[in-house]
Amino acid sequence: MGQTKYPRHPKGTLTAIGASGAHLRIPWVTAWWSAALPGFGHLLISNHLRGFILILWELLVNTQAHINAAIVYSFTGKFQEAKEVLDHRWLILYIAVYVFALWDSYCETIEQNKYYIMAEREDYPITPVKLTGLEFGYGKKRTPLLAITWSLLTPGLGHFYSLKILEGFFLMACAMAIAYMSHISQAIEFSILGDFDSAKSIVNYNWLLFAPSLYGYAAYASYIGVVELNKFYDAEQARFLKQEYMASDFKMPI
């Protein structure tokens, strides 16, 4: 297939603030992350603007409606307290946007899978290096387990490792806000000292319940990001070696 100057379906791009590329995804996985926390599903498929808006909306409306606190009461069998703590003025606003996040991320994943198939057929070359005054981005083999490790230490660091700078910065900011508002650092300190009653009393569960979703998403997304980045690196290297070093009449051994 002849190459055009401007590709209609590029496989990926490398910019000063990160790498992004098309690859096959499971729509239900994307929807599941949207269910864990609206916005995560959109970040997973690189719809960053929608993802950032939905995450900020979730942090605002969820905390104002006291949904996480109601979940904690429900899990501990305190159903009356769960009903009393909910603020229905905010709860009504929550439902439609929550369902939209699941539906939109699912549909977008299906469309991006179609785009990926077209990009594979067009097979346009991938730019391996992006050098600007702001950042030096380049392809290399990375270790997926390292991305998980850094993400579990601090959400966002694994994304820096997988060249997703903007998303990594946003996740770090969310981690800082959740840690501060939930008082989790003080709770950990009390727990180390054996003062578990103080640890339980100081924790703000409205914010604490965001942490499992945040840490889980950061680890998963950074792992997938590194795996796909390695695939792009291999594909670009293979194309370069075939074009520059392999003789046109060379027959591959069977």
Spell out the SS3 assignment of the chain.
Answer: CCCCCCCCCCCEEEECCEEEECCCCCHHHHHHHHHHCCCHHHHHCCCHHHHHHHHHHHHHHHHHHCHHHHHHHHHCCCHHHHHHHCCHHHHHHHHHHHHHHHHHHHHHHHHHHHHHHHHHHHCCCCCCEEECCCCEEECCCCCHHHHHHHHHHCCCHHHHHCCEHHHHHHHHHHHHHHHHHHCHHHHHHHHHCCCHHHHHHHCCHHHHCHHHHHHHHHHHHHHHHHHHHHHHHHHHHHHHHHHHHCCCCCCCCC
Say if residues 137 and 16 touch (Cβ distance below 8 Å): yes
Q: How many CA atoms lie within 13 A of 150 on its CB side?
A: 20
Tokens for 212?
């499992």
Rounded CA separation 134/217 (Å): 27
Is pTM beyond 0.85 here? Answer: yes
Q: Which two tokens stand for residue 46?
A: 């690189």
Express each pLDDT in 43-80 by its tens digit. 999 899 999 999 999 999 999 999 998 998 898 888 88
Structure tokens belonging to residue 22: 């098309």
Whole-number pLDDT of residue 104: 97
Q: Give the gyration radius of the chain's Cα atoms.
A: 22
**Tokens coding 74:** 């429900």
Confidence of residue 226 (pLDDT cuts 50, 70, 90): very high
Q: Each residue of 124-159: pLDDT tens digit?
A: 777 777 777 677 777 788 999 999 999 999 999 999
Q: From the CB of residue 237, how many other CB atoms can be counted at a distance below 10 Å?
A: 14
pLDDT confidence of residue 13: 75
With a cut of 60, say whether residue 223 has pLDDT above it.
Answer: yes
